[in-house]
Structure 1
Amino acid sequence: MPPIRPHLDRFAVTLMVGLCTIWGLQQVAIKVASVGVSPMWQAGLRSLGATLVIWVWARGRGLRLAEPDRTLLPGLVAGLLFAAEFALIFAALQYTSASRGVIFLYTAPFMVAVGAVWLLPHEHMRRPQWIGMALAFVGVVALFGESLLRPSGRAWIGDLMMLGAAVMWAATTLTVKASPLARASAEKTLLYQLGVSALVLLPLSPALGEPGLFAPTPSVWASLVFQTVIVAAASYLAWFWLISQYSTTRLSSFSFLTPVMGVLAGALLLGETLTPAIYGALLLVGTGIWIANRPAPGK
């Protein structure tokens, strides 16, 4: 395995906050696009477009994407896991609300931490890191937990799907870190996932009876472009570069910022109400991240 930096420097922290903000904005973009394009088709189009963007970027940098480096099998596995994650998320939202689902989805960082005990022993977590991640998760629950108390009906089906998506998310991250993909370029690692997911999600949409692109307004197209270029291409490329350079468990703790940023983005861009719970959740998440990323004594 290539050496990693044991602690996050200022650049990594700033970049992670920026990525979480982008991923939070993605939640708003998906809502905007959903009025004119089916969910699974939306995810597939995003993957297909981002595949082309990353391929052009890699060619422009002169990267050798086809050289034999033992990444084909883990790359295909990571791509299938990536596709399964988004298929489960979009299917889950047919049964449960986003506010319920996010609680189950954001168990993924804990799954990464548990998996790292066996697969990434050089990235073991100390007790303060577990405490910090738990506190950040409490912040997410404080933000969305009220939805768990509402009458659920068949919401448990969607909740289980979201939990399955969390497993896929964690498995993708661990596959990348514990296989030859860890030595591959971020571009090649991402191309495996985007390319395979496009091949899976686009045919899956008509198989599920989705109407596809049914109301292509300018706002729908703008949302798709944002999701393709900024989210699926630029931000995911930056993420895979980060996990090749820094501790995955430390980086994963920042992911709890994403749902909070999504709520803030909804308030700023969609006129949704800001409540005291949002500020309290931001405080808890921020404190948890700070605790999880404090250096060990004497380091």
Structure 2
Amino acid sequence: MFLLILLNLLYASTFLFTKIGMNFSQPVFMTGVRMLIGGIISLCIYKQFYYRRTDISSITKKQWILIGCLSFTNIYLCNILEVWGLQYLSVGKAAFFYNLSPFFSALFAYFLFSEYMTWQKWLGLSLGFLGFLPIFMEPGSVVDTTMKIGFFSLADVAMLGAAIVSILGWTIMRLLLKQKSFSAFLLNGITMTSGSLLCFLHALCFESQPFVQPGMMYSFIQVALLIALFKHVIANNLNAYLLTKYTTTLIAFFSFTASLFAALFGILFLGESISGYFIMSVVCVFTGLMIFYQEELRQGYITK
């Protein structure tokens, strides 16, 4: 369980570093740079230590299609939605949206794989979704995007989309890891490198230049390296390794701790505060998660 806590501590720190990095550069360009760095490092590690584990020429057309889907969902689309939403939200609130991951994971399993859902699971899911209402009602803590859909700001919608495509991406990753003895470093290296190219194309088309603020290149490189190391090299590969040991649902359950770590980092380093809306959502979502998790244990889908 220590590795699950470490994983979410690393993910939480990247929200802080990304928020800081936005002071130095355009967000999508920074995303492309950090993913390119992470992808190259992952491929180098694969080449050095895992080269004989997977013969790239033996990868089938269907598997390449899945790898392409993984690049688009878990690397490009998830990160683009995340960095856009993070511009307008506190790091704690932004990270909190990923607490929806286990609920979406369960719904994917129900609709795609016909996994049995008990009334206790439906209760946990319902409480979890209702628990997000208070935090959706919370006013934007950084900048009001002025565009809302009911209680939802566009930043909320973007982070919600990031949480959905993230769990979809990790489901594809788990499927690939079970199909073939892929190295996680190979999969992450390929998807991050190709995903970074999509980010650069996005930045070229939609972001203003210069991509890095004048006089900020050194600070930009420092932040990009930290995020690449913590998230794309250590955390993503650790997540892929843990997918071979635990279910997606259990890993998603522990992602709850990332929002708490992120909120703490926001208080300590960015001067952000925790609102009553946030606390209400934390209590309600955690209750729903516990009900759902205990039922997963009883059904035998996961083990302690």
Report if TM-score (shorter chain) is over 0.5.
yes
Map Cα deviations across residues 204-250 of structure 1 (whole Å, 9 max, x no partner).
11211332122425543332111001111100101111122211112
Return closer, same or farther for 1:151/1:270 CA change in 2, 3 Å cut-off. closer
1:90 corresponds in structure 2 to 83
Aligned pair 1:77/2:79, yes or no?
no
Q: What amino acid maps onto 1:84 in structure 2?
A: L
Deviation at 1:290, TM superposition (A): 4.3
Range 240-249 or range 286-295, more displaced? 286-295
Map Cα deviations across residues 119-143 of structure 1 (whole Å, 9 max, x no partner).
456x756554554565556666555
Tell me which of 158, 170, 174 is aligned to 1:177. 174
1:130, 1:242 → 2: CA distance? 26
2:258, 2:18 → 1: CA distance? 14
User: Which 5+ residue runs of structure 2 have no aligned equivalent?
Assistant: none
Q: How does 1:1-299 map to 2 (within 5 A)?
A: 11=1, 14-64=2-52, 65=54, 66-70=56-60, 71-82=63-74, 83-92=76-85, 97=89, 106-120=99-113, 127-129=119-121, 131-132=123-124, 135=127, 142=134, 145-147=137-139, 153-156=146-149, 157-179=154-176, 182-183=179-180, 184-211=182-209, 212-214=211-213, 215-216=215-216, 218-274=218-274, 287-294=287-294, 295-296=297-298
| Contact 1:26–1:231 under 8 Å retained in 2 | yes
Deviation at 1:78, TM superposition (A): 0.7
1:162, 1:265 → 2: CA distance? 19
| Contact 1:103–1:145 under 8 Å retained in 2 | no
Return closer, same or farther for 1:130/1:28 CA change in 2, 3 Å cut-off. farther
Map Cα deviations across residues 78-102 of structure 1 (whole Å, 9 max, x no partner).
10112122223334456x5457766
CA RMSD of aligned residues (A): 3.4
Deviation at 1:26, TM superposition (A): 1.3
Q: What percent of counterpart residues are identical?
A: 19
Q: What amino acid maps onto 1:63 in structure 2?
A: Y
2:69, 2:253 → 1: CA distance? 24
Q: What amino acid maps onto 2:58 in structure 1?
A: P
Q: What amino acid maps onto 2:105 in structure 1?
A: V
Return closer, same or farther for 1:100/1:272 CA change in 2, 3 Å cut-off. closer
Deviation at 1:190, TM superposition (A): 1.4
2:122, 2:265 → 1: CA distance? 28
1:38, 1:148 → 2: CA distance? 21
Deviation at 1:188, TM superposition (A): 2.2
Q: May I ask how many residue pairs the two structures share in their alignment?
A: 285
2:125, 2:162 → 1: CA distance? 19
User: Which 5+ residue runs of structure 1 have no aligned equivalent?
Assistant: 1-10
Map Cα deviations across residues 106-157 of structure 1 (whole Å, 9 max, x no partner).
5343222111224456x75655455456555666655564227998631444
1:245, 1:124 → 2: CA distance? 22
The TM-score, its normalising length taken from structure 1, stands at 0.78
2:232, 2:131 → 1: CA distance? 26
Map Cα deviations across residues 146-191 of structure 1 (whole Å, 9 max, x no partner).
2279986314444444343333223212222344665322222212
- SS for the counterpart of 1:273 is coil
Q: What amino acid maps onto 1:236 in structure 2?
A: N
Return closer, same or farther for 1:137/1:221 CA change in 2, 3 Å cut-off. farther
